[in-house]
Amino acid sequence: MDQCKIEFFKTVEDSIIPQLQTICEGWIDIFGCEKLFNIQVESLVHRLEKMFNGIVKKNRKTQAKLKSRIESLMNEKQRIESLLNEEIKPPIDQSFSLNDRHKNLKTTIISYREKCIRKFQQEAKELAEKLEIDCSNVKKLLEDDLQLTAANVDKLEEIVVDWRERKILYQEIENVRSQIEIIWKDLEVSDEVQSEFDSLPLNNESLDKLQAELQRCNQLKLEKFPKLVDQLIQEIFEYSEKCKKPVPLRMHPEDYDQSNLIELEANLKDLKVFYEENEKVLTLLDKRDNLKTELEALKVKQQDLRSRLQNRGGQLLKDEQERKLLEKKLQKAEIALSKAAAEYQSIHNTPFTVNGELLKLEKLNVRRKSIKKPYNG
């Protein structure tokens, strides 16, 4: 600061005072006012010094305000970086003046505020839709023309954090509810009991109520354990047949304990999922096998000597027509099954198997009717 002051007065001494001196020398020659001139110069220097001190004081206040604003913006920068999980790189050159640095930083922060606000608004809307939250009290905060202020960023963050916690609670409630519904089905719980847990509010009391019901159902499940095991075994065999997947099981419920129950339920769940995901190819496989069975039965019938001898009403002709029709249907079924199996392999990167063995596809040669060309003699 002293150096600035020295330079300021040096400028005054080198430029302003010589000019005044030149002007006043003429006055001295005319009026003999040398003493007055010296007094005026001293007064001018005093006034200039006072003016300089005022400028410096004002400049200090301005600089302090700018530094404070820059510090505040830098703090907001760190906060937004944590919210967006990305680094903000504002175009700031330390050689710029404080005023320019403040302007550049402010412009950059405002653009990132908008990005942060849009992110929170989008997440809030998605959470509100999933959790069926009434947004009427925060409607203005979700509008596109929301002012890009730090305060609005804070408000939106508070809303989103609260709704995220609600989502976690919602997921916990749904997880417990899904477990209860499975046990309800096994225990054949009445609709009246189940209706008590419909439309529960989204709060911790609802979670506690559901957890208590889950505990009660698990206790009932233990009491009815043998019957449940028997039902699971039957269902597993049923889906094992549907899925063409062998599942090694012990036949008697007495061979299982509580730890095995979870394993049985997992096996059944896996089979059900497999069937749902591959119902198309499994349905085509059943259709193909049924057609093969019908065709084999028809061939046996045709080879039966007594059937040949009892050929009344052209039964052999009807059987032959039926055989050709079955062969055509079987060929179409084989083609469709082949495509479905190839699609399965492309999705799962493994060939489709039937009872642990690769799927076998047969190539049928179905004779087509020959079309006689007209004779041009």
Q: What are the boundaries of each domain within the chain?
A: 1-89, 278-310+323-364
| Structure confidence at residue 373 as a pLDDT band (50, 70, 90) | very low
Q: Residue 257 above 60 pLDDT?
A: yes
Number of neighbours of residue 178 by Cβ within 10 angstroms = 9
**According to the model, what pLDDT value does residue 205 have?**
93
Q: Which tokens belong to 188?
A: 């054949």
Number of neighbours of residue 330 by Cβ within 10 angstroms = 20
CA distances from 220 to 158, 215, 224 (A): 43, 9, 6
Q: Which tokens belong to 202?
A: 């989204």
The rounded percent of the chain whose pLDDT value lies above 70 is: 63
- What's the rounded Cα separation, in Å, for the pair 147 and 142? 11
- What's the rounded Cα separation, in Å, for the pair 119 and 76? 17
Q: Are the CB atoms for 270 and 239 separated by under 8 Å?
A: no
3-state helix, strand, coil in the chain (%, to 5): 75, 0, 20
Question: What's the average model confidence in pLDDT over 12-24?
Answer: 58
- What's the rounded Cα separation, in Å, for the pair 38 and 26? 14
Where are any strands of DSSP class E within the chain?
353-354, 357-358
Q: Are the CB atoms for 75 and 66 separated by under 8 Å?
A: no
Q: Residue 311 above 60 pLDDT?
A: no
Q: Are the CB atoms for 28 and 39 separated by under 8 Å?
A: no
Burial class (CB in 10 A: 0-12, 13-18, 19+), 20: middle
Residue that wins the pLDDT comparison between 64 and 318: 318
Question: What's the average model confidence in pLDDT over 116-125?
Answer: 90
- What's the rounded Cα separation, in Å, for the pair 156 and 110? 16
Sign of the torsion formed by the C-alpha atoms of 334, 337, 343 and 345: negative
Q: Residue 348 above 90 pLDDT?
A: no
H or E element in which residue 10 lies: helix 2-11
Q: Are the CB atoms for 316 and 324 separated by under 8 Å?
A: no
